[in-house]
Amino acid sequence: MTDDKWNKVRHIVFQRDNDTCVRCAGEAHEVHHRLRKGMGGTSNDFIKYGLANCVSLCVLCHRHVHANPVESYDNGFLVRSWDDPRGCPLLLANETVVIYLAADGNITKFQQQALF
């Protein structure tokens, strides 16, 4: 059984991210859920299909994100269960641009500011 809705979301996410891993800027092959499906169940459409919750990653970065949760939460690749992915910034591969992902798939970019 195929999930047509997931296939559409996956296509939109890859297109939005230019088929590029947002963590390393390599070629993306997987769509990652920032707020993990296990946090809200696969029946929760906002978690499973939400464009603000999904980003393109390569296989190695996807593994890295799940193997390094502290770093991944700090950089926005993982989102805590009580947070809304739309309000959680994501640090891009070049580490100078932070983005916010909207529910409609739009991206807002901000140049990261130096603290010192």
Structure confidence at residue 39 (pLDDT): 56
Per-residue pLDDT 10s for the chain (116 aa) are 468 888 999 999 999 999 999 999 999 999 999 998 765 545 567 677 889 999 999 999 999 999 999 999 999 999 998 898 988 888 887 666 776 787 777 777 776 555 44
85 part of a folded domain: yes
Looking at the structure of the chain, the number of domains it has is: 1
Q: What is Dmax (Cα atoms) for the chain?
A: 54
Closest by Cα among 38, 109, 48 to 80: 38
pLDDT given at position 43: 56
Annotate 72-91 with b (16+ C-beta within 10 A) or e (fewer): bbebbbbbeeeeebbebebb
| Rounded-to-integer distance, Cα 112 and Cα 106, Å | 19
Residue 65 lies in a domain: yes
Strands (DSSP E) contained in 34-87 are 54-57
In a domain, 116, yes or no: no
Give the per-residue pLDDT at 93: 75
- Containing structural domain, residue 36: 4-111
